[in-house]
């Protein structure tokens, strides 16, 4: 995306400068043309005074070289070289004196003394004035050039991409078909506004793209510009918010002004929640003067569009719940386009889009990768393909192999392997029991996500990892699934306790997550029917469907709080016992599996099943 400032003001400045220079040149040349010939003045200093008739006579007899009329003074020079001078009446002209004979070779010259005097008197001032302006302009220009930001503080920082620059089209966006359909309509508004206005339809002003981070909101907005072939003005909400109150508003004004000059076009305000939060609210996110002003300015500008201003304002956010309701009113961002995380097919397509510009090996199967990347957004998938290419390049091979992509998936989802982190043998074996505990318990809980892989190679902060792959297309969760999840999470600690009789700190994250699930069961999903009833406890301040939680406001009694705590403790206790039960029943397999895991460090589902089911059957 090119970042270019508008050149128009600079150009105008240049023109002004040139005009002044020209004026100066014209003035000075006029001066020199009309300036009295000083040598002539000197010549005639010693001239003899004669009556005017003498000059006329000499003229008629062609004895004169030249006659100079300067005001009422008349100077003449004989062919012989001597000078004479005389005075004429104010009413006399060259014609009345008879000095206008075309055949007479005498040069008759008239100096306009008034003009000359004027220039003589004022040229100095004029020159000075012109020079001063020129100097001023020069200083101004050099400041502007060296420090282009100093004078453009209130200017918008919008990045402008010309119609010709935006090359992204719908082909570059895989999946999100509903969103694309909605956007096709917007492309049509920009391309054929007449089609809608003649029938009396009002073209929508704003569209809000809503989706989790990395789902391609920014990409889609650019795509609309690319498809419609119009310029694209993009600015991020946070760029409006500056140190000084009022700057944001003036940036908005500037941005819309530029856009109007370039209509039809698209204005894209990324991360609009930075300015568009609910105004005037108390506590979190409320009462920020600068933001309010900026937001008001955006609303004013959008209301101020003429009926036939062909500008569509697009905005993106992953926090639609915090947006000011004024933004969402009809005539503003009344179109909301939801972009979901990609499903299996979409993930495969996105992977393909990002495989296009890479050398892919013959064995690569992106569908397999798509299956392993449930819940990831487009940006993660792009990242995976890039990491895969980096892995391949590091290995020095010519094309990306399937294994590179598999490694990349692990790196992106779990963090890099840290093989250099040295664990003591004890730590290693505790980790192996812990992870195998998760694996066995998870495997035995019917509702748990299917087991995928177990590893005791450190990654990020984790010493080991047991990897379950979520099933596709699950939008609701049953109570049993929650319980099974809790059970699986506690499996790690259960295995440690059964084997070593002591516990380490390694399970703290598991416990945290298990407690969270249990708490949500009680407070959000009404799953403790006997004690708490089907009631939601705590006022949510996040957007559940985008997975962002800002915390809960407590709006329940002390008694309810006790019941919630009791429920959480009971559920955790029950599931912990259940996990221990599974592991005790499979103690022999646990030992076998741990021995194997210590040896290979990373174990796939197949290897796990070979041992786990082999002995059973």
Q: With CB under 5 A as the rule, give the number of residues binding Zn ion.
A: 2
Q: Is beta strand 552-553 parallel, antiparallel or unpaired with respect to 539-540?
A: antiparallel
Residue 273 or 387 having the CB closest to Mg ion: 273
Question: Of the listed pieces 163-171, 173-181, 218-226, 544-552, which binds Mg ion according to CB under 5 A?
Answer: 218-226
- Longest pairwise C-alpha distance within the chain: 147
Q: What is the CA radius of gyration of the chain?
A: 43
Q: How far apart are CA 535 and CA 549, in angstroms?
A: 19
Say whether residue 219 binds ligand ADP (CB under 6 A). yes
Q: How far apart are CA 135 and CA 133, in angstroms?
A: 5
Q: How far apart are CA 551 and CA 540, in angstroms?
A: 7
Give the CA distances from residue 328 to residues 208, 272, 298, 436, in Å, rounded to whole numbers and listed in that order: 9, 12, 12, 51
The DSSP 8-state label assigned to residue 44 in this structure reads G
Q: How far apart are CA 572 and CA 575, in angstroms?
A: 5
Active site residue 435: yes
Residue 222 or 251 having the CB closest to ligand ADP: 222
Mask: binding to ligand ADP, 310-329, rule CB under 6 A, as x and -? ------x-------------
Say whether residue 176 binds ligand ADP (CB under 6 A). yes
The DSSP 8-state label assigned to residue 457 in this structure reads S
Distance in Å, CB of 461 to Zn ion, minimum: 12
- Kindly tell me which residue out of 97, 99, 106, 175 binds ligand ADP, with binding defined by CB under 6 A: 175
Select the binding partner of residue 210 from ligand ADP, Zn ion, Mg ion, none (C-beta < 5 to 8 A, by kind): none
SS (H, E, C) 206-227: EEEEEECCCCCHHHHHHHHHHH
For the record, the structure tokens of 43 come out as 């010549």
Give the CA distances from residue 16 to residues 22, 24, 137, 151, in Å, rounded to whole numbers and listed in that order: 10, 12, 9, 19
Say whether residue 408 binds ligand ADP (CB under 6 A). no
Question: Of the listed pieces 46-54, 171-179, 294-302, 534-542, which binds ligand ADP according to CB under 6 A?
Answer: 171-179
Residue 175 or 206 having the CB closest to ligand ADP: 175
Say whether residue 224 binds ligand ADP (CB under 6 A). no
DSSP H or E segment with residue 486: helix 479-500
Say whether residue 510 binds Zn ion (CB under 5 A). yes
Q: Which residue has the tokens 């004979």?
A: 101
Residue 217 or 258 having the CB closest to ligand ADP: 217
- Catalytic annotation, pick one of 271, 387, 435, 485: 435
Select the binding partner of residue 174 from Zn ion, ligand ADP, Mg ion, none (C-beta < 5 to 8 A, by kind): ligand ADP
DSSP H or E segment with residue 51: none
Determine the residue with CB nearest Mg ion: 218
Say whether residue 218 binds Mg ion (CB under 5 A). yes
Say whether residue 369 binds ligand ADP (CB under 6 A). no
**Active-site amino acid positions:** 435
Residues at the interface with Zn ion (CB under 5 A): 492, 510
Residues at the interface with ligand ADP (CB under 6 A): 173-176, 211, 213-219, 316, 350, 353, 378-379, 382
């Amino acid at each position: 995306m090119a970042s270019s400032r508008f050149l128009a003001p600079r150009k105008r400045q240049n023109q002004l400068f040139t005009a002044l220079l020209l004026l100066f040149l014209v003035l000075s040349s006029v001066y020199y043309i009309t300036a009295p010939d000083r040598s002539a003045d000197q010549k005639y200093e010693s001239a003899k005074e004669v009556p005017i008739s003498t000059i006329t006579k000499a003229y008629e007899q062609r004895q004169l070289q030249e006659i100079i009329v300067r005001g009422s003074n008349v100077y003449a020079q004989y062919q012989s070289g001597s000078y004479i001078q005389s005075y004429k009446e104010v009413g006399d002209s060259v014609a009345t004196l008879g000095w206008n004979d075309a055949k007479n070779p005498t040069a008759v010259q008239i100096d306009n003394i008034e003009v000359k005097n004027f220039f003589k008197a004022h040229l100095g001032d004029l020159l000075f004035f012109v020079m001063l302006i020129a100097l001023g302009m020069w200083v101004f220009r050099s400041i502007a050039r060296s420090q282009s930001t100093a004078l453009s503080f209130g200017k918008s920082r919008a990045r402008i991409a010309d119609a010709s620059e935006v090359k992204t089209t719908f082909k570059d966006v895989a999946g999100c078909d509903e969103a694309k359909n909605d956007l096709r309509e917007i492309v049509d508004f920009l391309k054929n506004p007449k089609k809608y206005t003649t029938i009396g339809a009002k073209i929508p002003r704003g569209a809000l793209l809503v989706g989790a981070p990395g789902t391609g909101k920014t990409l889609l907005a650019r795509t609309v510009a690319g498809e419609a072939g119009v310029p694209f003005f993009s600015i991020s909400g946070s760029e409006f918010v500056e140190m000084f109150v009022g700057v944001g508003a003036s940036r908005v004004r500037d941005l819309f002004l530029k856009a109007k000059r370039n209509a039809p076009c698209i204005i894209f305000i990324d991360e609009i929640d930075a300015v568009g939060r609910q105004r005037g609210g108390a506590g979190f996110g409320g009462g920020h003067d600068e933001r309010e002003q900026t937001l008001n300015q955006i609303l004013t500008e959008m209301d101020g569009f003429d009926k036939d201003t062909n500008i569509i304002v697009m905005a993106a956010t992953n926090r639609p719940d915090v947006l000011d309701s004024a933004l969402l009113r009809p005539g503003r961002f009344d179109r909301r386009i939801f972009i979901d995380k990609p499903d299996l097919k979409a993930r495969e397509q996105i992977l393909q889009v990002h495989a296009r510009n890479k050398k892919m090996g013959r064995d690569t199967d992106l569908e397999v990768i798509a299956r392993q990347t449930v819940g990831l957004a487009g940006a993660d998938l792009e990242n995976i393909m890039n990491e895969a290419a980096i892995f391949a390049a590091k290995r020095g091979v010519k094309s990306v192999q399937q294994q590179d992509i598999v490694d990349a998936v692990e790196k992106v989802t779990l963090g890099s392997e840290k093989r250099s982190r040295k664990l003591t043998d004890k730590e290693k074996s505790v980790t192996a029991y812990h992870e195998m505990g998760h694996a066995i318990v998870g495997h035995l809980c019917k509702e748990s996500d299917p087991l995928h892989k177990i590893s005791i190679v450190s990654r990020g902060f984790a010493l080991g990892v047991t990897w379950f792959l979520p099933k596709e297309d699950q939008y609701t969760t049953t109570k049993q699934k929650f319980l099974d999840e809790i059970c699986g999470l506690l499996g790690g600690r259960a295995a440690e306790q059964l084997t070593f009789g002591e516990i380490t700190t390694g399970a703290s994250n598991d416990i945290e997550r298990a407690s969270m699930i249990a708490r949500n069961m009680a407070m959000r999903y009404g799953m403790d029917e006997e004690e708490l009833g089907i009631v939601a406890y705590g006022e949510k301040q996040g957007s559940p469907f985008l997975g962002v939680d800002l915390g809960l406001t407590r709006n329940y009694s002390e008694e309810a709080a006790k019941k919630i705590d009791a429920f959480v403790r009971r559920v955790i206790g029950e599931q912990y016992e259940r996990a221990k039960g599974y592991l005790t029943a499979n103690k022999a397999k646990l030992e076998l599996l741990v021995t194997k895991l210590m040896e290979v460090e990373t174990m796939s589902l197949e290897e796990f099943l070979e041992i786990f089911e082999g002995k059973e059957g």
